[in-house]
């Protein structure tokens, strides 16, 4: 046990946990975007609501949800610890930094992008997660699709969601492939595949997410 805590308190161990929780959160995105894409059947939300109802009541999903929040909190906590340590590692900064010469802006901005995502999550959970929980707690039926339509009929929510999705896109563009490197997985043959997969995954998932508020706002999805 002491050996394990030693690993997790090391710089490499902390990054390992960051990558592991990151990939876990990515696996959740796959489920989330798949289920939400049911709205594109454009059947008045019948398929989507059936899926949402399953997710809200299935006991296995309920247990996994606890794991999801634990993973999210761990990811945020580690990010804070790492950021504070990194600040301490350079007490006096440079007057001139030409970061664009050696790295992408989003790889250097994971903390800011993550903070934007956290702010977005507060809005997002209060829009959808809280009403669903209240309904489950009160044993009342909940029309999640109607809730979506109500939220996405307001332009400012559409704007907030688009900012959230763009933050997610850039967070994923770096995070997906970076997590593999942190786990020690780098290979001449597979790393280019992981990088390509990460790029396409980020773009496709974010396009699908962005399409949801936009199509609802424009009345394409009824």
Residue 108, interface with other proteins (CB under 8 A)? yes
Report the nearest approach of other proteins to the CB of residue 197 (Å).
16
**Residue 75 found at the interface with other proteins (CB under 8 A):** no
Angle among Cα 8, 13, 14 to the nearest 5 degrees reads 85
Question: What's the Cα-to-Cα distance from 156 to each of 39, 141, 169, 208, rounded to whole Å?
Answer: 21, 28, 20, 19
| Contact between 3 and other proteins per CB under 8 A | yes
Check residue 89 for interaction with other proteins (CB under 8 A). yes
Compute the least distance from the CB of residue 121 to other proteins, in Å.
21
Shortest distance in whole angstroms from residue 116 CB to other proteins = 17
1 near other proteins (CB under 8 A): no
186 lines the binding site for other proteins (CB under 8 A): yes
| Binding range to other proteins, per CB under 8 A, among 63-71, 102-110, 112-120, 132-140 | 102-110
């Amino acid at each position: 046990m002491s050996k394990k805590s030693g690993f997790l308190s090391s710089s490499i161990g902390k990054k390992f946990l960051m990558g592991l929780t990151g990939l876990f959160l990515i696996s959740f995105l796959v489920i989330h975007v798949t289920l939400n894409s049911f709205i594109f059947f454009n059947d008045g939300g019948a398929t989507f609501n059936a899926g949402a109802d399953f997710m809200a009541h299935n006991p296995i999903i309920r247990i996994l949800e606890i794991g999801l929040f634990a993973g999210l909190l761990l990811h945020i906590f580690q990010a804070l610890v790492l950021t504070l340590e990194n600040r301490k590692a350079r007490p006096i900064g440079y007057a001139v930094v030409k970061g664009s010469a050696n790295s992408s802006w989003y790889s250097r901005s994971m903390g800011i992008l993550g903070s934007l995502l956290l702010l977005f999550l507060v809005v997002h959970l209060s829009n959808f997660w809280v009403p669903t929980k209240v309904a489950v707690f009160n044993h009342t039926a909940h029309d999640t699709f109607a809730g979506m339509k109500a939220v996405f009929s307001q332009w400012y929510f559409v704007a907030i969601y688009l900012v959230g999705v763009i933050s997610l896109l850039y967070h994923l563009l770096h995070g997906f492939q970076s997590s593999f490197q942190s786990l020690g997985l780098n290979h001449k043959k597979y790393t280019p595949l992981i990088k390509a997969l990460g790029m396409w995954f980020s773009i496709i998932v974010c396009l699908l997410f962005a399409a949801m508020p936009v199509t609802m706002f424009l009345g394409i999805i009824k």
